[in-house]
Chains A and B, each alone.
Chain A
Amino acid sequence: SQTIHQWPATLVQPVGSPLSLECTVEGTSNPNLYWYRQAAGRGLQLLFYSVGIGQISSEVPQNLSASRPQDRQFILSSKKLLLSDSGFYLCAWSSGTNRPEQFFGPGTRLTVL
């Protein structure tokens, strides 16, 4: 069966510090991968998605970036965090057209102070 992991689970960082969040998927190959952000009490905002190694599409301009160094690894980064980067970050995967649903990781709660 497939599983998706995210770490860390929680993170408190000062403004201006760097960020690295990691997501890995097990039990599948060549998944589509997604990063979402969820502000407190709000809906989901798609940040990035990837259909393959090194292929990243950005949905919104921001100070965040994403990378996919391996088939089942997706990393969200920032060089300098802003207060507005606080939120709940969710990674998800899907297998594409044959099985369109997305499956989500447990999330990372980021607080920027």
Chain B
Amino acid sequence: GDSVTQMEGPVTLSEEAFLTINCTYTATGYPSLFWYVQYPGEGLQLLLKATKADDKGSNKGFEATYRKETTSFHLEKGSVQVSDSAVYFCALSLPDGQNFVFGPGTRLSVLP
């Protein structure tokens, strides 16, 4: 079946370090791919998305590129801040527009 796999963490980094959170997927057809961020006690916020192969989504210094050949959508940021501490979820949406699959989430802690 369709699934999303991501490193579960926790990931602990120092401020200004480079961030990579790996995400790979298995899906039939051509899904859209997303990264969501969840701050403590809050709902999920859409961080970025990509809807077709080789698209790059970007927002707030975060980037991810839709790699069809490796079925991956890794999240990167060049210099993390303490305020980036949160849980990050990779997700896919199937072309039927109804089914959404989330990864297990990766907790990121950024230390000053």
Contacts and interface: CB of A to CB of B under 8 A. Distances in A.
A36 B45 CA distance: 14
Given A34-B100, A94-B97, A102-B100, A43 B45 contact: no
Contact of A44 (B42, B89, B96): B89
Contacts, number: 55
Contacts of B100: 34, 46, 94, 100, 102
Given A32-B97, A43-B103, A44-B89, A101 B49 contact: yes
B43 A105 contact: yes
Which applies to chain A's interface (DSSP): helix, strand, loop or mixed? strand
A43 B46 contact: no
B32 A90 contact: no
Interface string A11-39: 00000000000000000000010100000
A96 B49 contact: no
Contacts of A49: 98
Most chain A C-beta atoms within 10 Å of own C-beta, residue among B42, B49, B97: B97
Interface of B: 32, 34, 36, 41-46, 49, 51, 89, 91, 93, 95-98, 100, 102-105
Q: Report the 9 A-B pairs with minimum CB-CB distance, sorted nearest first.
A: A97-B97, A104-B43, A100-B93, A96-B97, A43-B104, A104-B44, A100-B32, A107-B43, A44-B102
